[in-house]
Amino acid sequence: AAAAAQPAPAVPVADGVGGGMPKTPPAKRTAKDFIFGKVIGDGCYSTVYLAKDIHTQKEYAIKVCEKRQIIKEKKGEYVKREKDALNMLFNVPHGFVKLFCTFQDRERLYFVLSYAKNGELLPYINKVGSFELNVAKFYAAELVLALEKMHARGIIHRDLKPENILLDEKMHLQIADFGSSKILRPQDLSGEHRAERGDDDSPSSERERERKMSFVGTAEYVSPELLRHREDTRASDLWALGCIIYQMISGLPPFRGPNEFLTFQKILKLDYDFPEGFPADAKDLVEKLLVLDHTKRLGVNDKGDTYSSIRNHPFFEGIDWNKVSEQNPPKIS
Enumerate residues 6+ apart whose C-beta is below 8 A from 145: 94, 95, 321, 324, 325
- The residue type found at 290 is L
Q: Is 310 in the site for ligand ADE (CB under 6 A)?
A: no
Q: Is 267 in the site for ligand ADE (CB under 6 A)?
A: no
Q: Is 86 in the site for ligand ADE (CB under 6 A)?
A: no
Q: Is 40 in the site for ligand ADE (CB under 6 A)?
A: yes
Closest CA to 142 of 181, 171, 183, 169: 171
With CB under 6 A as the rule, give the number of residues binding ligand ADE.
Answer: 12
Distance CA(158)–CA(222), nearest Å, equals: 8
Judged by CB under 6 A, the chain residues 172 through 231 that form the site for ligand ADE are: 176
Q: Is 41 in the site for ligand ADE (CB under 6 A)?
A: yes
DSSP 21-84: -SSPPPPPP-GGGEEEEEEEEE-SS-EEEEEEETTT--EEEEEEEEHHHHHHTT-HHHHHHHHH
CB of 119 to ligand ADE, least distance (A): 5
Q: Is 79 in the site for ligand ADE (CB under 6 A)?
A: no
> What binding mask, one character per residue, do residues 95-114 give for ligand ADE by CB under 6 A, x or -?
--x---------------xx
Residue whose CB is less far from ligand ADE, 97 or 240: 97
Residue whose CB is less far from ligand ADE, 61 or 88: 61
Distance CA(60)–CA(57), nearest Å, equals: 10
Single residue of 51, 116, 140, 155 touching ligand ADE by CB under 6 A: 116
Q: Using only C-alpha atoms, what is the Rg of the chain?
A: 22
Q: Is 61 in the site for ligand ADE (CB under 6 A)?
A: yes
Residue whose CB is less far from ligand ADE, 181 or 233: 181
Residues listed for the chain: 333
Q: Which stretch binds ligand ADE (CB under 6 A): 18-26, 69-77, 115-123, 232-240?
A: 115-123
| Strand 182-183 relative to strand 155-156, pairing | antiparallel
Distance CA(282)–CA(223), nearest Å, equals: 19
Beta bridge pairs of residue 114 = 60
Q: Is 139 in the site for ligand ADE (CB under 6 A)?
A: no
Burial class (CB in 10 A: 0-12, 13-18, 19+), 243: buried
Q: Which of 33, 84, 105, 159 is catalytic?
A: 159
Q: Is 48 in the site for ligand ADE (CB under 6 A)?
A: yes
CB of 110 to ligand ADE, least distance (A): 13
Residue whose CB is less far from ligand ADE, 65 or 116: 116
**Is 159 one of the catalytic residues?**
yes
> Cα–Cα distances in Å, from 40 out to 69, 116, 121?
20, 10, 14
Site residues (vs ligand ADE, CB under 6 A) = 40-41, 48, 61, 97, 113-116, 119, 166, 176
- Catalytic positions are 159
